[in-house]
Structure 1
């Protein structure tokens, strides 16, 4: 019997690293010219507290010269892996349409546990706002986004900024207000702790168990009352931002996205979904980054339309 999740987390991290390298190379083929890139900007004292920033270059064919709306995209990796470099090409593509896009790195489990990534993303937001002039960004037009584990972090940061009392419960100081967060983009995320118990497949169950144990620090994380605060559907208020959600029809975490979408609709909140219930061949986790396929292109276009509408 395992007494620590470290070995499983290491193996998962290595698997994600190899697939991430392939994804990064594929996405860079879609990165357009005319984007200014700033890598490894330090937003805090910790060794992991670095972010990459993308914005239209001077003279690029975009509307005006800023300040641009700010998109903060949090990378995935099951809380134990992943990196901002994996999605750089995708974020450059978005920046070319007239946005300042930031990709923060955050500290990984099991060495660093919940809610450390939330605190770090809040610090990244604080840093970006302090540098608004240098980065030509508009702090009153912020969209949060993320994929996989990063989608959960982005959703929870949104809830921390919009749900009274929630920040105190989690122990995080918000650095943005509900009025600043204009929208939220969530791709293939995990949002509901209760759904971690219903995973089918041995490999999938091991992945979910190892990630949850690593992130929480507790073997029986699903029964941990403190860790339960990460279930975003339980902390929705009318101030929660309009949200664009997507998941593949073969995504391991599909039920999480559907659950959050249903909870938002039931609460009368603005939620748009890009789902593929009958698509063949079935779409796996993170399908949206395979920009050589039609479904990924459809979501890209919906994403750009959502950003334009929310930050106009």
Structure 2
């Protein structure tokens, strides 16, 4: 494996933090919370299918003694389009394994799929996570030859907090040609977002912990982290995939309207009667994959 020596060298000089038992944003814990209301759900399969190889635990960046790692799921082929997945978890929790089932299904459709870890809010506040994801995109493009990826056809995708991070990293960074925002905020300052993310009963809210203060205390950061603020001609096209819980996609309609005015393509798929975190489960993962594949084939030409 061409990356092995790099991984071994990096492993000698940097480490990952130990698992946090309080970090329970994963498919099994979420299943336990949802199955009574949605008895038809099943945790999506994360078994490596035939024809897809995994390149695991690549160190894409180092912050002091801290390793940041990613996994790549690669189908056969050359000059593959690629999608980099950003996990959710309220900016404070979650694991890159969250997007393995979707990554595998995307790989079966001919995409190189990469899942990344990033610094959570308890370790480093905004904008650390965004900078980490942008570094992961740079790493993927710099290693395009080894990964058999076309560096000019790279997309970002994410769910929940990961959808917001993917959108922000994509519209403010370089090298991203399309974005899939799955149930992630587009505007932290919208009335709907503030109703939940700036709720004074939450001490702090997930967003407040990420920004280091409530909206009144860190208003500039709340605005700066809103993808809607960066709508402009030439920005990446965006596919918005939403659950039946509007609060998690606050700002989406306004962002789509601004994109239309700027001459930038956007598309929307709403999966009605679904919970947040729907992409972790069948029967909802496949329509999410199908919409993403169709969109990315249009905009990663």
- TM-score range relative to shorter protein: 0.7 to 0.9
Separation in structure 1 between the aligned mates of residue 298 and residue 217 of structure 2, nearest angstrom: 38
1:13-64 Cα shifts (integer Å, max 9, x gaps): 53424536879x822257632110112110112335100111014xxxxxxx
SS in 2 for 1:44: strand
Q: Does 1:197 align with 2:194?
A: yes
Asked if the contact 2:52/2:108 (under 8 Å) is kept, the reply is yes
Q: Which residue of 2 aligns with 1:110?
A: 122
Structure 1: stretches of 5+ with no match in the other structure: 1-9, 58-64, 162-175
Please point out which of 278, 287, 295 is paired with 1:306.
295
Displacement of 1:194 in angstroms is 1.2
Q: Does 1:51 align with 2:70?
A: yes
Displacement of 1:251 in angstroms is 4.4
Separation in structure 1 between the aligned mates of residue 288 and residue 79 of structure 2, nearest angstrom: 26
Q: State how 1:223-302 maps to structure 2 within 5 Å.
A: 223-276=218-271, 279=272, 282-293=273-284, 296-302=285-291
Q: Which residue of 2 aligns with 1:28?
A: 45
Separation in structure 1 between the aligned mates of residue 208 and residue 143 of structure 2, nearest angstrom: 36
Please point out which of 202, 223, 233 is paired with 1:206.
202
Q: Which residue of 2 aligns with 1:19?
A: 29
Structure 2: stretches of 5+ with no match in the other structure: 1-19, 35-41
Separation in structure 1 between the aligned mates of residue 121 and residue 220 of structure 2, nearest angstrom: 19
Asked if the contact 1:21/1:86 (under 8 Å) is kept, the reply is no
Displacement of 1:249 in angstroms is 2.1
SS in 2 for 1:261: helix
Distance 1:32 1:53, change over 3 A: same
Asked if the contact 1:194/1:222 (under 8 Å) is kept, the reply is no
State the TM-score, normalizing by the size of structure 2.
0.79
1:255-303 Cα shifts (integer Å, max 9, x gaps): 3333332332343320110024xx4xx212122332224xx43332121
Asked if the contact 1:52/1:103 (under 8 Å) is kept, the reply is yes
State the TM-score, normalizing by the size of structure 1.
0.77
Displacement of 1:211 in angstroms is 0.9
Q: Which residue of 2 aligns with 1:154?
A: 166
Higher share of residues assigned strand: 2
Distance 1:259 1:139, change over 3 A: same
Separation in structure 2 between the aligned mates of residue 246 and residue 219 of structure 1, nearest angstrom: 28
Report the count of equivalent residues.
269
Separation in structure 2 between the aligned mates of residue 283 and residue 251 of structure 1, nearest angstrom: 11
Please point out which of 178, 187, 211 is paired with 1:183.
178
Q: Which residue of 2 aligns with 1:7?
A: none
Higher share of residues assigned helix: 1
